[in-house]
Amino acid sequence: MDIKQAFGDVLREYRKQVNLSQEKMALECDLDRTYISLLERGQRQPTLTSLFRLAEVLKVPAEDLIAETRKRLAS
Amino acid sequence: MDIKQAFGDVLREYRKQVNLSQEKMALECDLDRTYISLLERGQRQPTLTSLFRLAEVLKVPAEDLIAETRKRLAS
């Protein structure tokens, strides 16, 4: 599994945990819905700024998303 | 302070802690020296992939760089 796909999987899981649709998530992050979809499918990778915005909306520290991504890469 | 500058400061500090020049760091990360310089000056932001590569060379978990960046933004 590559980094982008690992991150995408983490993002999708965290998003579902807070019961946000991709549309709602996109709106709250002020990002494009297509971008969220591409991130979740591992076809884009977030910039540092996007990472912080996503984490804020998910109400988790940004480093948690990275730690979780790294765990999946290692497993 | 913005996210990019906070990250740049963290990167510079961690790089100096392991006694790597920008040139050496760039070489070990397989990234451009100019890119490292731009990152440290807050003029670029790393992608997820670059973040993981930088962390690997710095021998720290990638999430530590993010946690440290977030701390500085909050302070």
Optimal mutation site among B63, B65, B69, B73, interface A, most CBs of chain A within 10 A: B63
**CB neighbours of B31 closer than 8 A, spacing ≥ 6?**
B50, B53, B54
Inter-chain CB proximity B69 and A51 less than 8 Å: no
User: What whole-number distance in Å separates Cα of residue A60 and Cα of residue A54?
Assistant: 9
Residue of A35, A64, A69, A37 lying closest to A50 (CA atoms):
A35
Measure CB to CB from residue B66 to each of A3, A45, A63 and give the nearest one. Answer: A63
Inter-chain CB proximity B61 and A70 less than 8 Å: yes
ipTM, two decimals, is 0.92
Inter-chain CB proximity A45 and B48 less than 8 Å: yes
pTM of the model: 0.94
**Cβ neighbours of B56 in A, within 8 Å:** none
In the block, which residue shows the tokens 């760089």?
B65
Chain segment A14-44, per-residue pLDDT in tens: 999 999 999 999 999 999 999 999 999 999 9
What does each of the 75 residues of chain B score in pLDDT, given as a tens digit? Answer: 799 999 999 999 999 999 999 999 999 999 999 999 999 999 999 999 999 999 999 999 999 999 999 999 988
